[in-house]
Amino acid sequence: MTARHLPDTRTPVIEVTHLSKHYRDVPAVDDVTLHVQAGQIYALLGLNGAGKTTLIRMLLGMIAPTAGTVRVLGAAVSAGDRSAWARTGYLVEAASAYPELTVRENLEVIRRLRRLSGTADDIIERLALAPYADHSARTLSLGNLQRLALAKALIHAPGLLILDEPVNGLDPAGVAEIRTLLADLAHQHGTTVFLSSHLLAEVARLATRIGILHHGRLIGEHDAGQLDHHRRRHLRLATRDDDTAHTVLRAHGYRPEPATPNGLLLTDQHALAQPEQVATILVHGGVPPTELHLQEEDLEAFFLRTVGSSPQTETGNGTRAEDA
Ligand code: ATP
């Protein structure tokens, strides 16, 4: 069955089932199963070499999986079958354009190839490319070239956008613009967005769901709104005599750990909820705090901790040939 209509919210727009791609003995993508629902912004997060581009190329039928299946918009994807390309907007690998053609001419080429009526003016406006519309692509900055690539991906108002590292090369203002554009597409137009990135802090502000890919494996999936629950928090304190402070706190049932280069860390829920009680105990114990503050792991630290504690990282050194 190849249903060509946009599925409703109960049908995943992307269904990846036990998908693998091995290059000789390197499992670039290793037994990944994931679902993306309509209207979701799903971010596939991973370090360089995690397998993001390989997975995206399989979503688009650009390469054949070693094992597993992909369904996009209700239809099975197979290598060489370009139907997925026609129904989605995509940006894979480095942004490219005809260097001698202007921005407008580049977009006109795509508009005609896609047999779209009208002009490219709307999309030029939308991607803030108007000031460069008559500049040849070879003179564009990396950021504007990326913007042009996104314009090409969006020109036919696709229901699904698949973007490999879409904010690569953009300055902070460009990143913010793209974030607003993608959020608007998802929230106002119901566009489903699947994107890859290596920046958790960036995608956490945009994505509704985040999948963490590491050495080809999907090692975690989180609703973006739930990420805060996974971030570690601790109370950091210092005194003039940390050994005594340690003894005093243990006597009150806390489990302090030494901090570097000095001071103590408390992760007890009670300490996190009521740091003022910790301060009172230290004052009464004769070791008043010289420093006391609640610290929260930032998103990048959370991400690095997550991939750092995955089995592949603990047992391997980045090359996994011995596992294959
Ligand atoms: P980056 O962010 O650096 O682009 P990525 O997460 O997109 O990384 P991939 O490009 O998918 O990662 O690569 C995953 C692994 O597969 C890497 O070890 C890479 O060297 C390997 N790989 C990718 N394509 C090929 C290929 N055509 N032949 C051999 N190995 C490949």
Mean model confidence pLDDT for the chain: 86
Q: Which pLDDT belongs to residue 9?
A: 53
- Which segments within 122-177 are labelled E, that is strand? 160-164
The top-level CATH class assigned to 231-323 is alpha beta
Q: Which pLDDT belongs to residue 57?
A: 93
User: Would you say 285 and 248 are in contact if contact means Cβ atoms under 8 Å apart?
Assistant: yes
Smallest CA-to-CA distance from 43 within 197, 225, 219 is with 197
Ligand 1 pocket residue status of 50, Cβ below 6 Å: yes
Higher-confidence position of 256 and 82: 256
pLDDT in tens, 158-195: 999 999 988 877 788 888 888 888 898 888 888 999 99
Q: How confident is the model at residue 2 (pLDDT cuts 50, 70, 90)?
A: very low
Domains of the chain, residue spans: 14-228, 231-323
CA distance 74 to 5: 8
β 217-223/209-214 pair status: antiparallel
Higher-confidence position of 9 and 235: 235
Nearest CA to ligand 1 atom 1: 48
Name the amino acid, one letter, at 44.
L
Mean pLDDT of 24-43: 94
Ligand 1 pocket residue status of 299, Cβ below 6 Å: no
Nearest CA to ligand 1 atom 31: 23
Among 21, 24, 53, 212, the mutation site with the greatest number of ligand 1 atoms within 8 A of its Cβ is 53
The answer to whether 14-228 and 231-323 have equal CATH topology is: no
User: Would you say 41 and 206 are in contact if contact means Cβ atoms under 8 Å apart?
Assistant: yes
Partners of residue 236 on adjacent β-strands: 265, 293
Q: CB neighbours (10 Å) of residue 3?
A: 10
Ligand 1 pocket residue status of 54, Cβ below 6 Å: yes
The top-level CATH class assigned to 14-228 is alpha beta
Q: Indicate if the pLDDT at residue 12 is higher than 50.
A: yes
Atom of ligand 1 nearest to the CA of 51: 11
User: Would you say 250 and 303 are in contact if contact means Cβ atoms under 8 Å apart?
Assistant: no
Atom of ligand 1 nearest to the CA of 21: 16
Q: Indicate if the pLDDT at residue 314 is higher than 60.
A: no
Lowest mean pLDDT among 21-25, 130-134, 198-202: 198-202
Q: How confident is the model at residue 317 (pLDDT cuts 50, 70, 90)?
A: very low
pLDDT in tens, 210-250: 999 999 999 989 998 887 778 888 999 999 999 999 999 99
Atom of ligand 1 nearest to the CA of 93: 4
Q: Indicate if the pLDDT at residue 313 is higher than 50.
A: no
Rg (C-alpha) for the chain, rounded Å, is: 25
Distance (angstroms) between ligand 1 centre and the Cα of 32 equals 15
For residue 80, what are its two tokens?
């060489």
pLDDT in tens, 59-75: 988 899 999 999 998 88
Partners of residue 237 on adjacent β-strands: 264, 292
Tokens 């971030």 locate to: 231
CA distance 298 to 305: 11
CA distance 170 to 147: 9
* Cis? peptide before 261, omega within 30° of 0: yes
Task: For residue 109, report the phi and psi dihedrals to the nearest 5 degrees.
Answer: -60, -45
Nearest CA to ligand 1 atom 11: 51
Distance (angstroms) between ligand 1 centre and the Cα of 214 equals 12
Q: How confident is the model at residue 22 (pLDDT cuts 50, 70, 90)?
A: very high
